[in-house]
Chain A
């Protein structure tokens, strides 16, 4: 079945470390997105990519970086510059016109 796989499900990071969250899709979607969710709040857009080798900043891109070397993959790196990285991170994908919007099951990142 087609879908989005996010790994790991839980991730612990020490202060000052970079960590990379994985997002893989087999839906043949061109567009992919990363959202952040803080407890009791809605989702906010970090980065999005409409096509391979291209990506754009969302509303809260500071302290994050992404790459899009393959259509299927859109990894998110949480850098040490992100001051408050503890949150739930959700990856999504869609067609170029926004149809078929699908979310992964998320990665819960905790700074220890």
Chain B
């Protein structure tokens, strides 16, 4: 089974509007972390936001917020006031467990291509 599922291969949003990118995950761990990365056409992976499984508040970083619904195993990214520079691929990723030297690799979803229209 897919551990990270992003069901929207591509999305359009009008400049200055808000957009939600979906992410659902599957894990049996109690302790895990969820990440969102932005990947522009240059290829670099730009960290946007992080949510720990025990965090009670939804994470926010500037125009980015994470709508974390633990019971539904979803971690949707909300971008407010979209800008043309937001056009990129967006990836949701999960780190399971948090044990020293046990491996902290990330599992990635397939990504969503966001296109912001002027």
- In contact, A58 and B109 (Cβ under 8 angstroms): no
Whole-angstrom distance between the Cβ of A103 and the nearest chain B Cβ: 4
Restricting to A13-27, which residues have a CB under 8 Å from any CB of B? none
Residues of A within 8 A of B72 (CB): none
Inter-chain CA distance A97–B101, complex, in Å, is: 7
Report the interface size for chain A: residues with CB under 8 A from the other chain: 27
The yes or no answer to B71 lying at the interface (CB within 8 A) is no
Beta-carbon contacts under 8 Å, A53-70 to B: 56, 58
Residues of chain A lying within 8 A (CB to CB) of residue B100:
96-97
Interface residues on B, range: 20 to 34
Q: Is A106 an interface residue (CB 8 A)?
A: yes
B45 at interface, CB cutoff 8 A: yes
Determine how close the nearest CB of chain B comes to the CB of A23; give it in whole angstroms.
14
Name the residue in A42, A96, A106 with the highest tally of chain B Cβ atoms < 10 Å from its Cβ: A42
Q: B residues 85-106 with Cβ under 8 Å of A?
A: 91, 93, 95, 98-106
- A106 partner residues in chain B, CB cutoff 8 A: 43-44
- Shortest beta-carbon distance, B40 to chain A, in Å? 11
B43: chain A residues within 8 A (beta carbon): 88, 90, 105-106, 108
- Of the listed residues B100, B103, B109, the one surrounded by the most CB atoms of chain A closer than 10 A to its CB is B103
Does A42 contact B44, Cβ atoms closer than 8 Å? no
Measured between beta carbons, the chain A residues less than 8 angstroms from B106 are 33, 43, 45, 92, 101
